Amino acid sequence: MRPGEIAKLFLEFEKENDIFEWQSDGIYIWQLCRVNIFQHLLAKVKNDKPAYRGSTIKRILNKRFRFKNILLYNPLRDNKHSNVLVFESSRYVNVNGKFVDPYTSFFTEELKKKNLSVIRYQSNYTTDHLTQKSSEVKHLDFIEYSALKKAKTDRFVLKNEDLTILKKIEKFFSDNLNTDLDLNPIVSYLVSFYKAELFYYKKLLDLKKPEKIFLVDYNSKMAIVTAAKERRIETTELQHGVMVGEDIIYHYPTVKEGEHKYFPDKFIVWNELWKTSCKLPIKPDNISIRKNDLLEIKKSKYGSVKKNDKQILIASQYDLTNEIAKEVLNNIALLKNYKIIYKLHPVEYPELEKNIYFKKLKEYDNVVFPDSKSDLHLLLAESKYFVGVYTFVIFEAIEFDCEINLIELPGIEMMNFLKDVKKIKFHKDFEKFCSSL
């Protein structure tokens, strides 16, 4: 079953059951755990997903950054008032020689120009060391490390009535998807960690006393949102990727506006398309538009780059690694007159030397795997053709006037809302795309 079909089944279950009001010790269990349960469900149904993990040496070396963050950038050692707190994403890109968060950095600079005091919080210890540090930058490693320890000792125990609801959920998906999902340890951990995080974020907000908070990815920031709402501090999320009705992460068709306890008060999207691509659980008046800053900068920078009529950029995806690569490999002979730029998802790079399909594709002279530091937008500017499934890169490729070709692999249903767009072609398989050239 495809991800979109699983999402549809998931939403049907929510519609038929009053699950969003489920509380235990003041915690709205389903609202808190919904996205993570869905992701576990997808992993169970699709049990062949590659496990992306860096080398042991790299993991050990990366830990040194975490210890440094805990010692030098502990947010709870900063008790100076700030007007605004910005919780950055875990992604960083190189812009004019500096690594910045593409979703918040330009917005943050505008806030500072308004003479607002801003503190930035980072959370990805494997890449944050690339960014420039200052007194305005703190790291969440201390809070996350402390919360993990606290969650282990203060484990949330589900009540009998909670276990009854979990069994009902498990049975529904077992009957419809033939899964053996055990939700008790998943929910117990998520609630325990949330409560532990909340303890520390309450301390943080009492120290900083901000007027506003901006963040990326509410699902990993629910404790922050809760602490803010309790203190009547406005929270706003900035868009960072695809948001569609065929994926449940930002789609809440049965939730009344403003009734999601852990969702930000406001939301900023990149254009009109994203205001209606899914149903956010907030009032339309609380959804505003702001251009994608990074995309605008890169379009200006590479506006004069000439297209290569014989160049195809293929965007891989970490949950379709083998499926996409196999399609390309099986039809590579049809593309002998084309240069193929095979762009991996950031988490796929550890697989480049291991994956059997990647290794075989590297044997062809016309196939290039750019390294992780390559500028995706320059590659899009150079390429006439773009091939993908449901990655956000599709929308970046549109901005760079690529001819968009989508392959109907699992997850393509998330792009159904693009079927009426003339510039976008849907192909049954990769061979059909090759035949269209």
The number of folded domains in the chain is 2
Q: Which whole-number Å values give the CA distances from 173 to 42, 169, 177, 210, 306, in the listed order?
A: 11, 7, 5, 43, 51
Q: Does the pLDDT of residue 56 top 60, yes or no?
A: no
**341: three-class secondary structure by DSSP:** strand
Query: Percent of the chain beyond pLDDT 70?
Result: 93
Q: Which of 96, 120, 90 is nearest to 346 (CA)?
A: 90
**In terms of domains, do 167 and 49 share one?**
yes
Q: What pLDDT does residue 131 have?
A: 64
User: Is 256 a residue whose pLDDT tops 70?
Assistant: yes
Q: Are both 279 and 370 inside the same structural domain?
A: no
- Same domain? 279 vs 313: no
The span from the CA of 208 to the CA of 219, in Å, is: 23
pLDDT in tens, 311-352: 999 999 988 999 999 999 999 999 999 999 999 998 898 889
Residue 285 has pLDDT above 50, yes or no: yes
Nearest by Cα to 183 from 22, 45, 29 = 29
- 124 and 262 belong to one structural domain: yes
CA distances from 130 to 86, 90, 184, 189, 358 (A): 18, 12, 38, 31, 28
Q: How confident is the model at residue 59 (pLDDT cuts 50, 70, 90)?
A: very low
pLDDT of residue 90: 84
pLDDT by residue (tens digit) across 286-303?
999 999 999 999 999 999
Q: Is the pLDDT of residue 166 over 50?
A: yes
Please, what is the average pLDDT of the chain? 91
Please give the pLDDT value at position 213.
98
Does the pLDDT at position 118 exceed 90? yes
Task: List the CATH number of the domain containing 375.
Answer: 3.40.50.2000
The upper half-sphere exposure of residue 343, i.e. CA atoms within 13 Å in the direction of its Cβ, equals 21
Beta bridge partners of 120: 86, 137
pTM > 0.95 = no
Q: Which domain CATH number covers 118?
A: 3.40.50.11720
Q: What CA–CA distances, in Å, run from 155 to 28, 29, 74? A: 17, 15, 25
Residues 385, 397 contacting (CB under 8 angstroms): no
What six digits make up the tokens of 326? Answer: 């196999």
- Same domain as 307, residue 225: no
The vertex-67 CA angle with 62 and 73, nearest 5°, equals 115
- Asked which of 228, 262, 292 is the last residue of a domain, the reply is 292
Question: Rounded to the nearest 10 degrees, what angle do helices 183-208 and 222-230 cross at?
Answer: 50
Predicted local confidence at residue 289, as pLDDT: 96
Residue 232 Rama label (left phi>0; alpha psi -120 to 50; beta): left
Distances (CA, A) of 19 to 33, 147, 161, 383: 11, 27, 13, 47
- Confidence at residue 129, expressed as pLDDT on a 0 to 100 scale: 57
Q: Are residues 287 and 307 in the same domain?
A: no
Same domain, yes or no, for 136 and 246? yes
Percentage of residues in the chain having pLDDT higher than 90 = 73
Q: Are residues 385 and 413 in the same domain?
A: yes
* Same structural domain, 228 and 344: no
Q: What is the mean pLDDT of residues 71-92?
A: 91
Residue 23: which residues within 8 A CB-CB, separation 6 or more?
29
Q: Tell me the three-class secondary structure of 345-367, residue by residue.
A: CHHHHHHCCCCHHHHHHCCCCCE
Within a domain: 348:
yes
| Residue 204 pLDDT greater than 90, yes or no | yes
- Residues 238-251 have pLDDT tens digits of 999 889 888 899 99
Q: Which helix (H) or strand (E) holds 185?
A: helix 183-208
Query: Is 297 a member of any domain?
Result: no
Question: Which structural domain, as residue segments, surrounds residue 348?
Answer: 302-436
Q: Quick one: 122 and 157 in the same domain?
A: yes
pLDDT band at 374 (very low <50, low <70, confident <90, very high): confident
45 in a structural domain: yes
Q: What is the DSSP code (8-state) at residue 133?
A: P
Residues forming a β-bridge with 93? 100
**If you average pLDDT over residues 20-29, what whole number do you get?**
96
What average pLDDT does range 111-125 have in this prediction? 90
Cα distance between residue 307 and residue 220, in whole Å:
39
CB distance 263 to 430 below 8 Å: no
Closest to 316 in 3D by CA, of 283, 337, 284, 344: 344
**pLDDT tens for residues 213-239?**
999 999 999 999 999 999 999 999 999
